[in-house]
Amino acid sequence: MGCKIACCQMEVTRDKENNLERAAKMVETAAQQGAELIVLPEMFQCPYENQAFPEYAEPENGKSVRFLAELSRKYQCILVGGSIPEQEKGHYYNTCFVFEHGNYLGKHQKYHLFDVNIPGKISFQESSILSSGEHFSVFSTSIGKIGVGICFDLRFPEQWIQMALDGAKLLICPAAFNPVTGPKHWDLLLRARAIDSQCFVAACSPAYHPTASYHAYGHSCVVSPWGEILHQLEEQQEILFVEIDLEQVAEVRQQIPILSADRFATKRK
């Protein structure tokens, strides 16, 4: 089955309304150019800052989530809504909400939190504000099953393999890597997860914003089940478009039967 994907690599500012307006325009453009599945970046309506997360946080029925539902309905697309800071039962989560034609399919709360300290380069501790999700996330859509992980989740192969074992053929990663880790690991991790899972992998980053306190790496990318980079952006605001054929997943899995030959699969289940 063929599918046209769009990753909206948008610039994120401190103005939530401006961010929502920019996201709406990019989703509109993507839909007008035939995209059936559209992806927004991690924290698309919020600066990537611990102190900003509580200020920008919303509940599951909040304005930003209703906004995503309406975009999906208006443009009759599958919309993977990047992520927003979600407030739920006294906790904050980094959460991706997923819709198809306006219908709510579910959400993924970031499973692995970004706690790193590279002296002299970058230090960030999401766990000082955010709570971890408890589940891996696979959603049934009209094009087949898709899995979603968020940014730091990308570093943990088991999560992506399990989503493939749960039926996903396309894995999506809203992410905000940075100029320290991005040049070293971004392409490598995306290609590795595609090979591990024998799935297509689509990753959507915010654009690089020079005055932001946290600099996103950009370089949104789509990778084939063979581990080939099909298309990749630079760092500026832009929409990535890629046509994929999900039938290729079955072909790759037949030719190199990693998942079916995996002796750990029964233990994962």
pLDDT in tens, 228-240: 999 999 999 999 9
- Dihedral sign computed on CA atoms, order 218, 224, 225, 226: negative
Token pair 């927003």 is at which residue? 84
Catalytic one among 16, 107, 110, 169?
A: 110
| Mean pLDDT over each residue of the chain, to the nearest integer | 94
Would you say residue 66 has pLDDT above 80? yes
Residue 57 belongs to a domain with what CATH number?
Answer: 3.60.110.10
Residue 42 annotated in active site: yes
> Predicted confidence band at 116 (pLDDT cuts at 50, 70, 90)?
confident
Strands (E) in 70-155, as ranges, are 78-80, 84-88, 91-100, 103-109, 115-118, 122-125, 137-141, 144-148
Would you say residue 267 has pLDDT above 60? no
Catalytic one among 7, 8, 77, 151?
A: 151
What's the rounded Cα separation, in Å, for the pair 197 and 212?
34
pLDDT of residue 265: 67
- Residues in the chain, how many? 269
Count of domains observed in the chain: 1
Q: Give residue 223's domain range.
A: 2-268
Catalytic one among 42, 58, 86, 126?
A: 42
Residue 7 annotated in active site: no
pTM of the full structure: 0.95
Closest CA to 197 of 236, 220, 226: 226
What's the rounded Cα separation, in Å, for the pair 31 and 100?
13
Residue 63 annotated in active site: no
Would you say residue 160 has pLDDT above 70? yes
Residue 258, judged by CB atoms within 10 A of its CB (0-12, 13-18, 19+), counts as middle
Coil, strand or helix at 232: strand
pLDDT in tens, 170-204: 999 999 999 999 999 999 999 999 999 999 999 99
